Amino acid sequence: MKLGIVSDIHANLEAIDAVLTDMNLHKVDKKVCLGDIVGYGASPNECIETIISNFNYIVMGNHDEASIDLDRSLGFNLAAKEAIQWTAKQLAPDNKEYLRNLEYGYSTDEGLLFVHGSPNEPFDYIFSDREAQIAFQTAISDFEIAFVGHTHTPGMWFLEGKAKQQPIRYDKPDGEIGKLEFRIPEGTKAIINVGSVGQPRDYDTRASYVIYDTETRQGTFVRVPYSKDITIGKIKRAGLPYSLWHRLMYGQ
Ligand code: ZN
């Protein structure tokens, strides 16, 4: 089965539309969204509706949770807090209800785990080998391959004795569709961070997602350019903080 996996859309409709177009060219069988559909961006309702109508598995992100319960945004920085308050006011009642009913994770019979932040705790971050090691050792449910997002930076860790991060380099530069193909060795546990669709932070402005084939254990990290100017214009017109559109220009 071929999966298309996204995370951290952050109310960026142009980016998720570009990713869906690319994903459909690759004819994936099932689509998975690892959360943070809303927050930061200016198209929260449109993004929720796009995700509901296109994706098979959808998990809760910390911004999704905060948009329906503002107390959950206490730890957010000022711009994130301002955006989540704006989002809470924009959300249609049906869409709020939908977010409220999301699960924090899914595991499949094939040993796959889908969670927003970490197998260890739904909203923990995995940046380092050490954090990945902890996630492998203290996962809430056993898994062979976990797909996560949350850091907005694509990443891949294999457990070979210790957790070790694998390098990610795309074949084409920013501005074009970029790819990196990978294969998870038989019997190796892995954590794959699919990056962010709507607000990348690895100095690459393209929307990020991952394709993974459960039979061949082969996958592809994909980067897709999208119409950033349209997204930036919407954030400006919504009166959201400067930093939220500025970072889309630089991918950080
Ligand atoms: Zn996020």
Q: Which residue has the tokens 């952050």?
A: 10
Q: At what angle do helices 13-25 and 228-237 cross, to 10 degrees?
A: 150
Computed over every residue of the chain, the mean pLDDT equals 97
Tokens, residue 13? 């409709």
Instruction: Answer whether residue 6 shows pLDDT above 90.
Output: yes
Residue by residue, what is the 3-state secondary structure of 58-107? EECCHHHHHHHCHHHHCCCCHHHHHHHHHHHHHCCHHHHHHHHCCECEEE
What is the Cα–Cα distance from 40 to 66, expressed in whole angstroms?
A: 12
**From the CA of 185, how far away is ligand 1's center (Å)?**
29
232: which 2 tokens? 């930036």
Res. 31: pLDDT tops 90: yes
* Position 252 pLDDT exceeds 90: yes
40-72 residue pLDDT tens: 999 999 999 999 999 999 999 999 999 999 999
CA of 158 to the centre of ligand 1 (A): 23
CA distances from 169 to 4, 149, 173 (A): 19, 18, 10
Instruction: Give the C-alpha separation, 231 to 225, whole Å.
Output: 12
Å from CA of 215 to ligand 1 middle: 29
Give me the mean pLDDT over the 232-236 stretch. Answer: 98
- Residue 36 Cα, ligand 1 centroid: separation in angstroms? 5
pLDDT at 54: 98
Tens of pLDDT, residue by residue over 110-131, are 999 999 999 999 999 999 999 9
Identify residue 242 by its one-letter amino acid code: Y
Q: From ligand 1's centre to the CA of 140, what distance in Å?
A: 21
Q: What is the Cα–Cα distance from 92 to 112, expressed in whole angstroms? A: 32
Question: Distance (Å, rounded) from C-alpha 163 to C-alpha 35?
Answer: 24
Task: Compute, in angstroms, the gap from residue 151 CA to the centroid of ligand 1.
Answer: 7
Compute, in angstroms, the gap from residue 176 CA to the centroid of ligand 1. 24
User: How far, in Å, from the CA of 160 to the mean position of ligand 1?
Assistant: 28
The CA-based angle 77-79-85, given to 5 degrees, is 100
Q: What is the pLDDT of residue 85?
A: 98
Q: How many A from CA of 161 to the centre of ligand 1?
A: 30
Which pLDDT value is given to residue 200? 98
110 CA to centre of ligand 1 in angstroms: 27
Two structure tokens written together for 57: 């598995």
Please state at what angle helix 78-90 crosses helix 242-250, rounded to 10 degrees.
110
Which pLDDT does position 141 carry in this prediction?
86
- Compute the distance from residue 241 Cα to the ligand 1 centre, in Å: 16
User: Distance (Å, rounded) from C-alpha 46 to C-alpha 22?
Assistant: 19
Q: How far is the CA of 144 from the centre of ligand 1 (A)?
A: 24
Assigned token pair, 151: 């850091």
Q: How far is the CA of 91 from the centre of ligand 1 (A)?
A: 18
> Above 90 in pLDDT, residue 140?
no
10 CA to centre of ligand 1 in angstroms: 7
**Bridge partners of residue 163, in order along the sequence:** 159
How far, in Å, CA of 244 to CA of 39, rounded? 10
CB atoms within 10 A of CB 196: 29
Specify burial of residue 208 (Cβ count, 10 A radius: 0-12, 13-18, 19+). Answer: buried
Residues surrounding ion ligand 1 at CB below 5 Å: 8, 36
Condensed to tens digits (0 to 9), the pLDDT of residues 79-93 reads 999 999 999 999 999
Residue 145 tokens read as: 């391959």
Which structure tokens are listed for 78?
């000022």
